[in-house]
Structure 1
Amino acid sequence: MEKWIGFELHPETPASGVKIAELLPEIDLDLMNRNLNANGNSYGVSFKRNDFLPNTRLALEASEFARAYNKFTEFHDRTFKAYFTEGQDIGNIMVLLNLAQEIGLDKAKLEEDLNNHTYAEVVEQNRTAAVKNNVTAIPTFIIADKIRITGANPYSRFQKALEEIIKP
């Protein structure tokens, strides 16, 4: 069974976010963007060059809100597109509220829950579980509690992993 679990990889990120160049000065952002687009091209995915790493805590809380209303997948997909394709700041509460409204979630209720941190405990539990399972990067896929795939991998890597699982 597939279940996406949000993981706050960098909880130390300031609420206002941080410029990637400050966090990772050795990274060539142009090269990184070219590589992302080269890899995404065959899947019809384009990446906007993004110089900014948001604090994702509110986005993770909003994802749990969406899960509670059976809209997790739609919110997850919309949030990823907003950040990676459109370059939006998903650490900004107004951005999250608008994304939620786009997919049919109650914007006012989400705002109330984000301001009250209604889902903060769930986000913390997810982080604790990820650390316990030695998750140190995102994405990390754990398949049948036996195979771990970390980072962006070709489709063939997932096929091979699934074939290993179903071997008699």
Structure 2
Amino acid sequence: MKIDIWSDIACPWCYIGKRRFERALAAFEHRDEVEVVWHSYQLDPTLPEHYDGTEAAYLATRKGLPEEQVHQMFAHVAQQAAGEGLDYDFDALVVANSMRGHQLLHLARESGVADQVKEALLRTHFVEGGDIGDEEVLVRIGVAAGLAEQDVRDELASGSRIPAVRADVAEAAALGIQAVPTFVLDMTYAVSGAQPSEVFATALEQAWAASRPRLQQLADGDACGPDGCAI
């Protein structure tokens, strides 16, 4: 079974959703037969490479909300993250365009280390206060996951995988995806948002059963089986 996940690095619910999905997948009987593919999505592709201000100021301006309300939102999200063992630090968060991080993610997909890179990007952004638009930060993440340093630097300089990032975003639009995270199971079932692990567990079971239909017995008669024949 294949699970395609659309997610943005700059999405706090995407990290929480990743944790909840991982818990469900770890308990899934057929987990070794599941392929997970990470896809790119940008919540704000118009964001400059770096925003000269705090995350609270950025969201208040973009959404037209008072900063006090934004901080209340942060408190709620941080509480949910803490429940998944994630220590979010919105005060230290560096607001940056996520495109370069997605370029690194696509490079990682080609080498089979996308999950490690995705995890590191999210942790860097939400927990460690790192700059996901900074070349040295991205090189460190890539090298730690086993990528060649020069390959990472070449991609960041050339932008050769930007079309692949945009293709992911276009595919999300074609599928009707308007929010992230969105988990698509066998391109048939979708789970939107950072749902509880129990919801993911149920979705995995349903999608697995649907992809392997059983014959409906219309009539029984005399026959032979492994234990012998009917007499």
TM superposition score normalised by structure 1: 0.86
- Mapped pair 1:21 → 2:60: yes
* Cα distance in 1 between the residues matched to 2:43 and 2:78: 23
Contact 2:106-2:161 within 8 A present in 1 as well: yes
The residue aligned with 2:178 is 136
- Mapped pair 1:60 → 2:94: no
Q: 1:53 to 1:152 in 2, by over 3 A?
A: farther
* Cα distance in 1 between the residues matched to 2:205 and 2:142: 37
Alpha-carbon displacement from aligned partner over 1:42-95 (angstroms, at most 9, x marks no partner): 321221115654211111011111122222111111111101111222122222
Stretches (4+) displaced over 6 A: none
The residue aligned with 2:161 is 119
Shift in Å, 1:162: 2.8
- Mapped pair 1:44 → 2:85: yes
| Aligned partner letter, 2:162 | A
Give the greater-gyration-radius structure (CA).
Answer: 2
- Mapped pair 1:110 → 2:149: no
Shift in Å, 1:103: 2.6
* Cα distance in 2 between the residues matched to 1:95 and 1:46: 20
- Mapped pair 1:72 → 2:114: yes
Contact 1:82-1:88 within 8 A present in 2 as well: yes
The residue aligned with 1:32 is 73
Contact 1:17-1:91 within 8 A present in 2 as well: no
* Cα-Cα RMSD: 2.2
* Cα distance in 1 between the residues matched to 2:45 and 2:126: 20
Where does the alignment leave 5 or more consecutive residues of structure 2 unmatched? 3-35, 53-57, 214-231
| Aligned partner letter, 2:115 | T
| Aligned partner letter, 1:123 | V
Contact 1:48-1:87 within 8 A present in 2 as well: yes
SS of 1:76's partner is helix
Contact 1:33-1:47 within 8 A present in 2 as well: no
- % identical equivalent positions: 21
SS of 1:101's partner is helix
SS of 2:191's partner is strand
TM superposition score normalised by structure 2: 0.65
Where does the alignment leave 5 or more consecutive residues of structure 1 unmatched? none
